[in-house]
Amino acid sequence: MSRKPVAFDPHMIELMVHQGIPHCRELGVRVVEVGAARTVLMLPFQERLIGNPEFGILAGGAVTTLVDTVCGMAVQVALGKLLPIATLDLRIDYLRPSEPRQDVHAMAECYKLTRQIAFVRSTAWNEDEAKPIANCVATFMIGSSDKAVLPPAAEQEAGRAVKGARPR
Amino acid sequence: MSMLDVIRQAKESGDFGRFLTAIPYFAFLGLAIEETPEGPVCILPADERFIGNPRLPALHGGVVGALLESAAVVQLVWQSEAVHIPKTINLSVDYLRSARPVRTFARGIVTKHGRRVANVRVEAWQDDPARPVAAAKAHFLLG
């Protein structure tokens, strides 16, 4: 990537995932890693997300949700600030079924950022990153609305987090 | 009851409610099916838990993707001889408009039904089917 990696407080991504996105809060999505190169999230296994009851396999839709979220977060990290973004398109290949009753991890990297569009790729896996269950490419529109990104309470907390963050 | 029995029974009775509740994720989404002359329509109820952006507010893109994929599966099971849940090979979603957190509908059309693979197109809309909020195409492995 031609851009310099930007300083970004990982706490902002946690605020976003845990407080800014009600559906992720509902699913209990966790932030595993936030870095300039990649962002990793985890979706804990839950019975209610099973798509194939014969084998206890997580539904594709749940994996899509995790992947969409991690792609969006990778865009925020690349931007170096929280901006309103919107998924333009997302294509996901399901390489193999998720292992029965296992958590899903998903990693995303924003490999190209223009003024208006972000290009992202992502993979998902259970325990071994070398054995991906899904591969994804997505594009996002940047600055898709003029509304703030976080709910007001989290916005205040984010302000404190930024003030407290050390420049890197 | 096995999935095979659930699907067979759903097809015989024309009542897919049982099929929807047999799949935990469909039940989690609260999906319902309405039969129309053009085929089954999947309905995602309005629910604050499905919001991705509370400031707009808008549904989470993943939930919209999940609705599209589910509607494609329902369409396939509905019209084909399948007695297993089709396995998604891939899904490509275009997000056309911001999806508000209201009742959302989706219907699939099987573009190509091969022996092993099916291609399905799906659209999701809210008030007006002519103004879809998202569209997708997906491949499924059958049997």
pLDDT at A167: 44
> Residue A145 and residue B55: Cβ atoms within 8 Å?
yes
Q: Is B81 helix (H, G, I), strand (E, B) or coil?
A: coil
pLDDT at B130: 96
Predicted TM-score of the model (pTM): 0.90
Q: Is the dihedral of CA A73, A76, A81, A87 positive or negative?
A: negative
Structure tokens of A156?
Answer: 């205040």
Asked whether residue B110 carries a pLDDT value surpassing 70, the answer given is yes
Residue B35's CB is within 10 A of a number of other CB atoms, namely 12
Which residues in chain B have Cβ-Cβ distances shorter than 8 Å to A150? 55
Cα dihedral B38→B40→B41→B42 (10° resolution): -160
> Residue A90 and residue B93: Cβ atoms within 8 Å?
yes
The domain made up of B3-141 is a member of CATH 3.40.50.2300: no
Q: Extract the runs of DSSP E, i.e. beta strands, from A22-162.
A: 30-34, 39-43, 50-52, 57-58, 85-94, 104-113, 117-125, 132-142
> Out of B22, B24, B88, whose CB is closest to A94?
B88
**φ/ψ of residue B50, rounded to 5:** -95, 5
Q: Could you tell me the residue ranges of all domains in chain B?
A: 3-141
Q: How confident is the prediction for chain B on average, in pLDDT?
A: 91
Q: Which residues face B58 on adjacent strands?
A: B53
Q: Are strands A104-113 and A85-94 parallel, antiparallel or unpaired?
A: unpaired
What was the ipTM of the complex prediction?
Answer: 0.92
Q: How far apart are the first and last CA of chain A?
A: 18
Q: What's the rounded Cα separation, in Å, for the pair B78 and B59?
A: 27
Q: Which residue has the higher pLDDT, B16 or B38?
A: B38
Q: How confident is the prediction for chain A on average, in pLDDT?
A: 88
* Mean predicted confidence (pLDDT) in A39-63: 93
Residue of A nearest to B59 (CA): A23
pLDDT at A168: 42
Asked whether residue A54 carries a pLDDT value surpassing 60, the answer given is yes
Asked whether residue A137 carries a pLDDT value surpassing 50, the answer given is yes
One of 3.10.129.10, 3.40.190.10, 3.40.50.300, 1.10.1660.10 is the CATH number of A10-159, namely 3.10.129.10
> Residue A61 and residue B67: Cβ atoms within 8 Å?
yes
How is the beta sheet containing B104-113 ordered, strand by strand? A30-34, A39-43, A104-113, A117-125, A132-142, A85-94, B87-95, B134-141, B117-125, B104-113, B39-44, B32-36
| Per-residue pLDDT band at A150 (split at 50, 70, 90) | confident
Residue of B nearest to A95 (CA): B89
- Angle at CA of residue A85, ends A149 and A163, nearest 5°: 40
pLDDT at B77: 87
What is the distance in angstroms between the Cα of B39 and the nearest Cα belonging to chain A? Answer: 22
> Residue B95 and residue A148: Cβ atoms within 8 Å?
no
* Mean predicted confidence (pLDDT) in B22-35: 93
Which stretch of A107-116, A122-131, A143-152, B80-89 has the lowest confidence by average pLDDT?
A143-152
* Mean predicted confidence (pLDDT) in A132-143: 96
How is B45-68 classified by DSSP, letter by letter?
A: PP-GGGEEETTTTEE-HHHHHHHH
Interface test with B, best of A16, A90, A101 (most B CBs within 10 A): A90
Q: What's the rounded Cα separation, in Å, for the pair A20 and A23?
A: 9
Q: What's the rounded Cα separation, in Å, for the pair A54 and A86?
A: 35
Structure tokens of B50?
Answer: 């499905």
| Per-residue pLDDT band at A38 (split at 50, 70, 90) | very high
- Angle at CA of residue A21, ends A19 and A23, nearest 5°: 115
Residue of B nearest to A144 (CA): B98
What is the distance in angstroms between the Cα of B93 and the nearest Cα belonging to chain A? Answer: 5
pLDDT at B1: 61
